[in-house]
Amino acid sequence: MDSTSLEPSLYTVKAIFILDNDGNRLLSKYYDPELYPSMKEQKNFERNVFNKTHKADNEIAFLEGMTIVYKSSIDLFFYVVGSAQENELMLMSVLNCMFESLSHILRKNVERRCLLDNMEGVFLVVDEIIDGGVILESDPQQVLQKVNYRLMSEPAYGFVLLDYITGNLEAQTDRSQLL
Amino acid sequence: QHNMLDSSDAIARSGSNPFQHLEKSAVLQEARIFNETPINPRRCLHILTKIIYLLNQGEHFGTTEATEAFFAMTRLFQSNDVSCHLLIKSVLTVSLLNSFMVFYSLTKDMTGKEDVYRGPAIRALCRITDTTMLQAIERYMKQAIVDKVPSVSSSALVSSLHMVKMSYDVVKRWVNEAQEAASSDNIMVQYHALGLLYHLRKNDRLAVTKMLNKFTKSGLKSPFAYCMLIRIASKLLDETEGGHDSPLFDFIESCLRNKNEMVVYEAASAIVHMPNCTARELAPAVSVLQLFCSSPKAALRYAAVRTLNKVAMKHPSAVTACNLDLENLITDSNRSIATLAITTLLKTGSESSVDRLMKQISSFVSEISDEFKVVVVQAISALCQKYPRKHSVMMNFLSNMLRDDGGFEYKRAIVDCIISIIEENPESKETGLAHLCEFIEDCEHTVLATKILHLLGKEGPRTPQPSKYIRFIFNRVVLESEAVRAAAVSALAKFGAQNDDLLPSVLVLMQRCMMDSDDEVRDRATFYMNVLQQKQKALNAAYIFNGLSVSIPGLEKSLHQYTLEPSEKPFDMKSVPLATTPITEPKTEIAPVATSKLPEKLARSRQDIYQEQLAAIPEFQSLGPLFKSSEPVQLTEAETEYVVRCVKHTFARHMVFQFDCTNTLNDQLLQKVVVQMEPSEAYEVIHYIPAPSLPYSQPGSCYSLVRLPDDDPTAVSCTFSCTMKYLVRDCDPNTGEPDDDGYDDEYVLEDLEVTVADHIQKILKPNFGAAWDEVGDEFEKEETFALASVRTLDEAVGNIISFLGMQPCERSDKVPENKNSHVLFLAGVFRGGHDVLVRARLALADGVTMQVTVRSSEETVVDVILASVG
């Protein structure tokens, strides 16, 4: 690891995921196509991270060469992953923004059932905070302004949702080409 | 009733996840309602969420399924009720018609009145856009970048950044808009604009410098943008080797006083990671990190202690001031923080605190992740070098760690550490070997087992009781995989060759190995069996102790060549290029190591690469194999118009000088560049190969071919005066367009020296004594010299090694402390393929007296060495 060679770049976040208290994935996005390109590797990584972090709420860990900041609430675990050289506080600001925004749209009930019932809002929030690994917004108020508006009108929801679908499919096709 | 309650309970539980038992086919079935009119937005929404959830869980949609679903979604889009902006790339593959429609619709959204749709529409659109389509929306993108709504502007900037990889030339045209956005009041827009500007300009150092000047003065509001600026500034400082009096350094230092912790930390970390920082320059960074150590935020404590750990590697004294804060972190509930704190203290603390800290680590070492266990091992390894007397405590600790569970990286770190302790402290050898023997009895990692067997073969026979290792080694032959069995056979052979009283038993064991099921194991056993039975020291030295010294890729290539051209002559081993001894890099990294996921490939040595490059030049094809390539020698000062360095390539009867030239003037194009050489001795320059063209900042190489004097083999050193000659064509610095005609010019370079070291290739003889006997004393000569100007043995050893360019063996390059005499063993091969060995006995009195004994298979070589030493 050569930490001097941290290339100046806006690509800060490598991955984000939300797991339940059995370590099952509820939402996850990987922004670096070279990091765990297959679903199997991703789930292995999530499993490993979960096993090492779910017992103690330590906020930060270093695993598989990656800095991971995390937070738990009742039966949910939120993770933000960055490279070993990344500024830990930048990752924390993403994690805090995600947590506070979600806490607001879930009306402080940050737990599994409520999250699943508002899944569309969760997808929207994550997409407004990170775009392709770049921090798009770190102020929960701003995120909520954009998202709340849209929660009122279903039409608007289509945007990001489909963005999500195509993003995933895209990654899938890339992967199948790789194999 | 009880039953009913049960089942409803079960339903309630499984129902706690509404997406639990989703079936892909059922969801796709449901998706048909997309086609219904009038459309039911709520239901559609719910189904879309289900599809996303399935994708997220790794469900794969086949092309047909995806096509159908997307086709249906396009309808939604048509109905204008669910304005789905993005059906995107996948849709494009479905049909061109659809893509046009989506494209049209998204364009409408991104320019529409509804601000809240516009940002996402832009991001979605850019996902599906290719270079041609991007040009079509270029006008909209430019407008969007400077849009007054921050979310629109940010989306456009970030999307442009994503597009840079694909369509650099198009996005480059938006620099002015990005520049305007950078002065926005919105902090995120500022940050994104800065990021895009940097990505577009990063290859133009001048533009980056201007940009930095502008933004460091204007004062940005976004802490993210500050962090970005700090990174750009420190990269620029690093590249330009700017001194710490530069305004860039001042800027970074001023960020230590920023009110945002994120920026302060970024600045401190940047300063810590700068090469050549003095303790005084580090001090302000260290003191902010010290404050962070007592922060209530775990992430900040972690960041601070991780960075302090880094400082402690190079400047332990700079961190001593934080020892108290670090002590408090030892009990931190976050074990990563505690580990980093302890390993930092191990580096900064005194010898007396070592035992206490080690005890503290062992109390929780089982709780921390492998990554941090490796950090602990590396800290121990560093400690052993610092306090050799503590090696027994460390060895105990390491052997306990070796017994614990852990992955490959972790075990390898421990094994490496034990091996280095053994090498540093002869008295720890037996305990260390015993621990390793125990470890290989139950070791699942082939690489480690073979490595340890190799070490046992090398060290075991020279211990007082070699016989006790035989059992451990032979157990491997019985129990392990092929690779380990083969390594065990090689180790056994070394015991047989070194210890006469063990030979009969080794031969019996060897006999058994000859019946192994694996070819490689059998071949090795048969080979060693026959060599051992000869009972000749020279054979043992050449084939058992010291092995082949050729480059393996080179051998492969030579053999391949030999089979292509059938010939009566037997294959000549001397035609194979020698293996260059790997330069052992000083261990610097002790911070958490990013474990590489790629398997390590057999890296081609630098010399193999040169060999290939030179072979591609027709003039050099008849020179035979490349014997040695020197390290590059600078022939110009660092900051001159042209930068030239030279690599000396030695062949059997010739030398090729490779001049790597860089033109640092952006208003000149150089052509037909040669370096003219005037030798001081009977060396003859027979050919110049010019570099045809040398544009601004693109390095190029020209070559000179020199014949070595045949009649006087002792003429090994020579000085060349060098002049670079070329044709200059002035050109426009902006376009790079050169003038039609040019003029000749020249530039005087520094003199180039060829010394005896250029004629000798380093060869490592793992068993020097055996090699010494093998060469024999037929051409042995001895002479005594007084090195008056040298004050210490260390200095003398360093001088001799660098002067002769030979490989120190048996770790004789390390002079034990407080000794007045030392013996240095050097091995090498002289140009033409003759082994040469040097034994230098050094004695320290008023200056150093040196008695040099040289042996070689060729008399002239001995003379050359002695003549050049004197």
Contact A154 B41 (CB under 8 A): yes
Q: How far apart are the first and last CA of chain B?
A: 107
Residues B492-528 pLDDT 10s = 888 888 888 888 888 888 888 888 888 989 999 999 9
| Nearest CB to A60 within list B52, B116, B299 | B299
Check whether B388 has a pLDDT greater than 80.
Answer: no
Q: What is the mean pLDDT of chain A?
A: 81
Position of tokens 């240095």? B824
**Are B666 and B648 a contacting pair, CB within 8 Å?**
no
**Are B459 and B436 a contacting pair, CB within 8 Å?**
no
- pTM here is 0.67
Predicted local confidence at residue B591, as pLDDT: 37
Average pLDDT over residues B812-841: 85
* d(CA B222, nearest CA chain A) in Å: 11
Give residue B19's pLDDT band: very low, low, confident or very high (50, 70, 90): confident
CB pairs under 8 A between A and B: 240
Give residue B110's pLDDT band: very low, low, confident or very high (50, 70, 90): low
Residues B111-132 pLDDT 10s = 666 666 777 778 877 777 777 7
Contact A62 B369 (CB under 8 A): yes
Contacts of B81 in chain A (CB under 8 A): 155
Query: What are the tokens at B458?
Result: 């090398």
Q: What is the C-alpha separation between B332 and B328, in angstroms, rounded?
A: 7
Contact A3 B310 (CB under 8 A): yes
Using CA atoms of B78, B79, B81, B87 in order, give the dihedral in degrees to the nearest 10.
Answer: -30
Predicted local confidence at residue B93, as pLDDT: 32
Check whether B602 has a pLDDT greater than 70.
Answer: no
Check whether B710 has a pLDDT greater than 90.
Answer: no
Give residue B16's pLDDT band: very low, low, confident or very high (50, 70, 90): low
Contacts of B61 in chain A (CB under 8 A): 169, 172
Q: Which of A66-80, B342-356, B462-476, B848-862 has the lowest mean pLDDT?
A: B342-356
* d(CA B216, nearest CA chain A) in Å: 16
The one-letter amino acid code at B11 reads I
Predicted local confidence at residue B68, as pLDDT: 65
Give residue B70's pLDDT band: very low, low, confident or very high (50, 70, 90): low
* d(CA B60, nearest CA chain A) in Å: 8
Residue to test with chain A: of B27, B73, B158, most A Cβ within 10 A: B158
Q: What is the C-alpha separation between B704 and B685, in angstroms, rounded?
A: 7
The residue of chain A nearest to residue B155, with distances taken between CA atoms, is: A136
CB neighbour list of residue B19: distance below 8 Å, 6 or more residues apart: A116, A119, B50, B53, B54
Contact A93 B262 (CB under 8 A): yes
Contact A146 B119 (CB under 8 A): yes
Predicted local confidence at residue A87, as pLDDT: 93
* 3-state SS, residue A63: strand
Predicted local confidence at residue B286, as pLDDT: 93
Query: What are the tokens at B527?
Result: 């080979």
User: Higher-confidence residue: B759 or B51?
Assistant: B759
Contact B232 A8 (CB under 8 A): yes
Predicted local confidence at residue B9, as pLDDT: 43
Highest mean pLDDT among B235-249, B370-384, B479-493: B479-493
Residues B75-96 pLDDT 10s = 555 444 333 333 333 333 333 3
- Whether residue B38 is preceded by a cis peptide bond, meaning omega within 30 degrees of 0, is yes
CB neighbour list of residue B229: distance below 8 Å, 6 or more residues apart: B194, B212, B215, B216, B220, B251
Task: Note the helical H segments in B112-260.
Answer: 115-128, 131-136, 138-145, 150-164, 168-172, 175-182, 187-201, 205-218, 223-240, 247-254
Contact B333 A92 (CB under 8 A): no
ipTM above 0.90, yes or no: no
Contacts of A8 in chain B (CB under 8 A): 198, 202, 228, 231-232, 235
Average pLDDT over residues A91-96: 95
Predicted local confidence at residue B104, as pLDDT: 60
Q: What is the mean pLDDT of chain B?
A: 80
CB neighbour list of residue A7: distance below 8 Å, 6 or more residues apart: B231, B235
Q: Which DSSP category does B785 fall into? A: E
Give residue B592's pLDDT band: very low, low, confident or very high (50, 70, 90): very low
Q: Residue B102: which of A121, A158, A123, A58 has the closest Cα?
A: A158
* d(CA B22, nearest CA chain A) in Å: 13
User: Higher-confidence residue: B127 or B751?
Assistant: B751
Q: Which of A64-78, A164-178, B364-378, B560-574 has the lowest mean pLDDT?
A: A164-178
Check whether A117 has a pLDDT greater than 80.
Answer: yes
